[in-house]
Amino acid sequence: MKKLRERILEEGRAINENVLKVDSFLNHKVDPKLMYEIGTYFREYFSGRGITKIFTIESSGIAPAVMTAMQMDIPMLILKKQKPNTMSEDVYQTTVHSFTKGADYELTLLKKYICEEDKILIIDDFLANGEASLGAVRLVEGAGAKVSGIGIVIEKSFQKGRKSLEEKGYDVYSLARIKKLEKNLIKFII
C-alpha cells in the first residue's frame, strides 16, 4: 500500500534494528482516513471467503480492524490482554509473549462470542515473530472455528512471523513489508 509506505517513511522512526515507531498515525495518534483506506485494502483482499467476524488484539489493531469490519459489515471482537474483573469465567485463554514489551500476557476471549461455524479474519498492527497472531489463532481454533486469513498493517519481514504462520497454512496479507530496519533507516520489500 503506497500511501502507508509513504507515511512510514515520512513519520515513522526506526529506533533500532527491531523497533519502528509509528505513533503519529497508527498506535497513539490515529489517522482515521488512513485507517479507512487500510480497511478497504483488507476488505478487497479477503472478500469472498465467507468471513463472519474480525478479531484483533487490544489495542493498536483496533482502528484498522474496526474500519475493515465496518466495510465488510460484520462484527469485530477485541481479544483482551488482561481479563477484566467484569468478564465471566466462561472464556478461552492462551499465553502470548510480546516481543515489543518483552513480557507474557493472557489473551482472553469470551466463549459466547465465537462458535464453530465462524470464519475469522485476524487483523493486527504489526507482525514480528508472530506470537500475537499465533495466540489469536489458538483461541479461534480452540473454539472449533476457522481462521480465514490474517491481515497485517506493518510486517517486519526480516523476523520469523510470516514464515511461522505460512508454514502452518495461514494466508498472511501485509500492507507494508519492511525488509530492514536500522537507526534512522527503513527499507521495504518492493
Tell me the binding residues for xanthine.
Answer: 20, 27, 156
Contacts of 57 (CB under 8 A, 6+ apart): 78, 79, 81, 107, 124, 132, 135, 136
The annotated binding site is made up of 20, 27, 128-132, 156
Annotated binding residues for 5-phospho-alpha-D-ribose 1-diphosphate, written as ranges, equal 128-132
The Cα 33–Cα 36 span in angstroms is: 5
How far apart (Å, rounded) are the C-alpha atoms in residues 100 and 175?
20
